[in-house]
Structure 1
Amino acid sequence: MNTSSTQTLAHLSRGAASTDRITGVKVSLTYLPLAAPISDAKVLTGRQKPLTEIAFIFAEISTESGHRGIGFGYSKRAGGPGMFAHANEIAPELIGEDPNDIARIWNKLCWAGASMGRSGLTTQAIAPFDIALWDLKAKRAGLPLAKLLGAHRDSVRCYNTSGGYLSMPLDRVLENIDASRERGIGGIKIKVGQPDTAVDLQRVTAVRKHLGDSFPFMVDANQQWDRATAQRFGRVLEQFDLTWIEEPLDAYDVEGHAALTASLDTPIATGEMLTSFGEHAQLITAHASDFIQPDAPRVGGITPFLQIMSLADFKGFSLAPHFAMEIHLHLAAAYPREPWLEHFEWLEPMFNERLELRDGRMHVPNRPGLGFSLSDQARAWTTESASFGTGA
């Protein structure tokens, strides 16, 4: 650490318990291209365009004691540049803070942008920093994050989503299923929500037959049914012994989801689009699903995710985090009830490390922290970056 950095931090008071200070923060905007455009029900209804790339906001935090942490947030379709801009606005708030004071830092960053709200883009822009701080804390302890949090298991049931999009013809979906099972996947999810439910029924029937009667099988309507369609088609789907029906209704229709949860035998799963603890709390306290599906980058990081986990467990919910398995593996391993983890291989080019999938489960790596580092390819896909303080 250079002299100017020492002088910059000299005025900051230190309590006896303070152990370190954040000296540098780097924020990067990186675009991950997808091999082929992806479409789900939101595209078929005309509400969104096919997905061709994902914007990632990476945060790299360094401290005066030489510790480093990395975290990320993401946006599909729109929003990446806005998240990057807000992350740059609040990044200077981290300089000089003790990186161990994660909850207090989260509140500080949240209030820095509170005039724009405490959900949505403002909380999603906090996530890369919060996740990086948890990564750093676990690395300092020499532990995988799951072990730092207190793991209930060393592996998590894992299902695949990326092979079952509506943009893929049925024969391709069946081929993807075979490839996933050979790789060691423990469950299969496909997209539904076609304008004609008869097409959905044909695909679900074929996939269930291909999987056999007992293999875990989920479907995802991506919020595109109205209440009547969800109720009627939900009854039709009872015959397939599904693990869950995901996002049958608009993400904010708590009342509708609660009615479906009460009336159908098939479990309901939702929550991936919610962007705060408060929004998840409404869903949980209304008993509006059986599976809760929070997304740490979307809710503002690991700090609010842990709050959601506590409330969900208290209320008896099952957990199935959305996307970002590189982060959610550790969080799911620390959930008291047996969870599910969503498998996407899309992010693999971004990192130097790979996660182990075996016998239907994803295994927690023994590497400290989250256990990943940015690849040269991720650096090459970076379009903008900004640094604050020193050493980032």
Structure 2
Amino acid sequence: METVRTDAVQSFLKQETLFVDITTADGHRGRGYSYTIGTGGRSVLSMLRDHLIPQLIGLDCRNVEQVWRTLFNSTRATAVGVVTSLALAAIDTAVWDLNCRRTAIPLWRAAGGYQQHIPLYDTEGGWLHLSTDELVDGALESKSKGWKGVKIKVGKPTCHEDSERLHAVRAAVGPGFDIMVDANQSMTSAEAIRRAAAFEATDLSWFEEPLPADDVSGHVRLSNATSIPVAVGESMYSIGHFRQYLESGAAQIVQVDAARIGGITPWLKVAHLAEAFNVSVSPHFLMELHVSLVSAIPNGQFVEHIPQLRSVTTTEIEIVDGHAIAPDVPGLGIDWDTDQIDNLRVA
């Protein structure tokens, strides 16, 4: 990790990034990736090596849906689940990268091509261990850069502590600047409702992961009790799970993560499902990939600025006037540093 990152349930010590390289019989290549936060990387690697990768031999990568479904159908014993989804994502992103390179089209156009500029918000200045003064300084720095908002972690021992920190940030940045909060699934329904009531005066843009992801009814109760939009998605691993949330009115912001949902192919389905419910998409993490996916859809709202690949890439995402710019080069648009990847390889 580039900096200390803490939330209400954990500290982030490292990231494990998994790569899949695909070469076709006619010489085309693609590279995909996935990730875990500190644990489970070798389990995903075993799923790839022992089961999924061998099944790619002989498939036609131009048939994206066929490739994804063939692999998914072979994993019924472990689906739906995080290890399978992360493994599928590494392959699926490689397939998309390969096909975009084959046709010389950037990902954001191949996936839909709606708009190339997406508003950016910052998470790096909002971690739970930071003092109130540090939160204020971070928010003011983000605002000075022209970024559109910041996310503050909540889940302090008392509601008063969270409220004091949020009020200080709002007073510093003034109106018209987005402030989001993230509880990282740390609260009960009753506590989330209580804290949301205390937070409402700070005019929040959303309340992220207030409850465990499997507590759909709790999210419904919270959504009915507050005017703050409820955001979920980073800990959900199937299209059907998102449908359940949207049908029941349990979420007003969708934060689908391309790695955790199983790749670009199912990510786009969730994004279009959200569009059918008139709900915006602001994905979790993976800004280097998500900038292109959010640019592909008409209901994309934000890209989250939280760098995690700078140690293994040669370039960063382009930022202009507080907006992330989707790469206009064929493929995923991520410039991997192969030497650094080799230097940091652990498996």
**Fold-level similarity (TM above 0.5):** yes
Match of 1:151 in 2: 113
Match of 1:380 in 2: 343
Q: Measure the CA separation in 2 of the matches of 1:183 and 1:59.
A: 35
Q: Measure the CA separation in 2 of the matches of 1:338 and 1:114.
A: 31
Is the contact made by 2:122 and 2:147 (CA closer than 8 Å) also made in structure 1? yes
1:319 has 2:281 as partner:
yes
Match of 2:18 in 1: 57
Q: Measure the CA separation in 2 of the matches of 1:350 and 1:197.
A: 39
Match of 1:298 in 2: 260
Moved more, 252-261 or 294-303: 252-261
Q: Please give the secondary structure, in 2, of the residue aligned with 1:383.
A: coil
Moved more, 365-374 or 174-183: 174-183
Q: Measure the CA separation in 2 of the matches of 1:182 and 1:71.
A: 34
**Aligned-pair distance for 1:36?**
4.0
Match of 2:78 in 1: 116
Q: Measure the CA separation in 2 of the matches of 1:179 and 1:349.
A: 23
Name the count of aligned residue pairs.
345
Match of 2:231 in 1: 269
1:342 has 2:304 as partner:
yes
Q: After superposition, what is the alpha-carbon deviation per residue over 1:292-322, rounded to whole angstroms, capped at 9, x for unaligned? A: 1110100100111111112111111111100
Is the contact made by 1:183 and 1:357 (CA closer than 8 Å) also made in structure 2? no
Match of 2:156 among 168, 177, 194: 194
Q: After superposition, what is the alpha-carbon deviation per residue over 1:303-351, rounded to whole angstroms, capped at 9, x for unaligned? A: 1111111211111111110000111111111221241111112322221
Can you give the 5+ residue segments of structure 1 that lack an aligned partner in the other structure? 1-33, 44-49, 385-392
1:281 has 2:248 as partner:
no
Partner letter of residue 177 of structure 2?
F
Q: After superposition, what is the alpha-carbon deviation per residue over 1:25-48, rounded to whole angstroms, capped at 9, x for unaligned? A: xxxxxxxxx1344210013xxxxx
**Aligned-pair distance for 1:113?**
2.2
Partner letter of residue 98 of structure 2?
L
Please show how residues 34-183 of structure 1 align to structure 2 within 5 Å: 34-43=1-10, 50-89=11-50, 90-183=52-145
Is the contact made by 2:292 and 2:327 (CA closer than 8 Å) also made in structure 1? no
**Aligned-pair distance for 1:150?**
2.0
Moved more, 345-354 or 194-203: 345-354
Is the contact made by 1:183 and 1:358 (CA closer than 8 Å) also made in structure 2? no
- TM-score calculated relative to the size of structure 2: 0.95
Partner letter of residue 54 of structure 1?
Q
Please identify the structure whose Cα radius of gyration is greater.
1
Q: Measure the CA separation in 1 of the matches of 2:84 and 2:104.
A: 31
**Aligned-pair distance for 1:173?**
2.5
**Aligned-pair distance for 1:353?**
2.2
Partner letter of residue 343 of structure 2?
A
Partner letter of residue 168 of structure 2?
A
Partner letter of residue 345 of structure 2?
T
Q: Measure the CA separation in 2 of the matches of 1:109 and 1:338.
A: 28
Runs of 4+ in 1 over 3 A off after TM superposition: 181-184
- What's the C-alpha RMSD, in Å, of the aligned pairs? 1.5
Partner letter of residue 175 of structure 2?
D
Is the contact made by 1:291 and 1:319 (CA closer than 8 Å) also made in structure 2? yes
**Aligned-pair distance for 1:88?**
0.9
Is the contact made by 1:184 and 1:357 (CA closer than 8 Å) also made in structure 2? no
Partner letter of residue 101 of structure 1?
N
Q: Measure the CA separation in 1 of the matches of 2:261 and 2:308.
A: 21
Q: Percent identity?
A: 35
Change (3 A) 1:290 1:279: same
Q: Please give the secondary structure, in 2, of the residue aligned with 1:165.
A: coil
Match of 1:17 in 2: none
Q: Measure the CA separation in 1 of the matches of 2:86 and 2:30.
A: 18
Match of 1:232 among 194, 200, 203: 194
Q: Measure the CA separation in 1 of the matches of 2:4 and 2:327.
A: 31
**Aligned-pair distance for 1:73?**
0.9
**Aligned-pair distance for 1:170?**
2.5
**Aligned-pair distance for 1:262?**
2.4
Q: Please give the secondary structure, in 2, of the residue aligned with 1:156.
A: strand
Can you give the 5+ residue segments of structure 2 that lack an aligned partner in the other structure? none
